[in-house]
Amino acid sequence: MNIKPLLTADGSHTLYLEELDETYHSRHGALQESLHVFIQNGLEFVVRSGLQNIFLLEVGFGTGLNAWLTFQAALAQGITVHYTCVEPFPLPEAIWSNLNYAPAEQQNDFALLHRSEWNRTVSLNQHFELTKLQTTIQEVRIPESHFHLVYFDAFAPSKQPELWTPDVLAKTTASLQHQGVWVTYSAKGEVRRSLMQCGMTVERLPGPPGKKHMLRAVKH
């Protein structure tokens, strides 16, 4: 894997993956994108519905940015998050330890997320339990009707179309409980239609800076 760090427009890092000619986040702002799509329109939407004990699935752990922001939100809001993520290609320490997501005094907490053992459930504190599964979303066995929230953060449909197939989308929506919420940064029409065929009510919401739209789908 040939991976290089890049600074995005809001000053936060992302990674550039040469093989796919693709970045891990929007070049318009990695932090802004994660906050907008996954935290504000995903986690906070679920918390506003009254949930305090949240089972969450992330497709693509990558830099750990979404997990880090969720970890911080869980502490700040006094909620508990059981965070399960799927990632076939964990990043080496030389890469993740140089990302500028955590201030120096919180770097140890950020490192906890990355150092946490793969393929087992680890309680990091009373608000955050982490299960990192080193496998693909196609291969992983996940329970049905289990999660309250899915962060779907695969590489773009144009770069990794095999992650956006009706089968994979159906598997991740089937893993949601009734009223469960599924969010992604992409607003592709084909993705929206596949989600609707899975019985999801899909909203096209304003995207983060630099992106017109994103998708949020709710299971009914």
Ligand X SMILES: C[S@@+](CC[C@H](N)C(=O)[O-])C[C@H]1O[C@@H](n2cnc3c(N)ncnc32)[C@H](O)[C@@H]1O
Which residues contribute to the site for ligand X (CB under 6 A)? Answer: 24, 59-63, 65-66, 86-89, 136-138, 153-155, 163
Q: Name the residue among 197, 137, 135, 187 with its Cα closest to residue 162.
A: 137
Question: Taking the complex as a whole, how short is the minimal distance between the CB of residue 136 and ligand X, in angstroms?
Answer: 3
Do you know the residue count of the chain?
A: 220
Question: Taking the complex as a whole, how short is the minimal distance between the CB of residue 151 and ligand X, in angstroms?
Answer: 7
Q: Which is nearer to ligand X, 66 or 175 (CB)?
A: 66
Q: Which is nearer to ligand X, 79 or 168 (CB)?
A: 168
- Collapsing DSSP to helix, strand or coil, 157 comes out as coil
d(CA 111, CA 124): 11
Q: Which is nearer to ligand X, 69 or 176 (CB)?
A: 69
The tokens for 68 are: 């880090």
CB 173 within 8 A of CB 57: no
Question: Taking the complex as a whole, how short is the minimal distance between the CB of residue 162 and ligand X, in angstroms?
Answer: 7
Question: Taking the complex as a whole, how short is the minimal distance between the CB of residue 60 and ligand X, in angstroms?
Answer: 3
Question: Taking the complex as a whole, how short is the minimal distance between the CB of residue 14 and ligand X, in angstroms?
Answer: 8
CB 27 within 8 A of CB 39: no
Which positions ≥6 away from 114 have C-beta within 8 Å?
A: 64, 90, 91, 93, 96, 97
Query: For residue 215, which amino acid is it?
Result: L
Q: Which is nearer to ligand X, 84 or 192 (CB)?
A: 84
Question: Taking the complex as a whole, how short is the minimal distance between the CB of residue 153 and ligand X, in angstroms?
Answer: 4
Residue 149 φ/ψ, nearest 5 degrees: -150, 135
Q: Which is nearer to ligand X, 180 or 184 (CB)?
A: 184
Q: Name the residue among 128, 3, 112 with its Cα closest to residue 71.
A: 128
Q: Which is nearer to ligand X, 54 or 59 (CB)?
A: 59
Q: Which residue is nearest to ligand X (CB)?
A: 62
Q: Name the residue among 23, 21, 3 with its Cα closest to residue 12.
A: 23
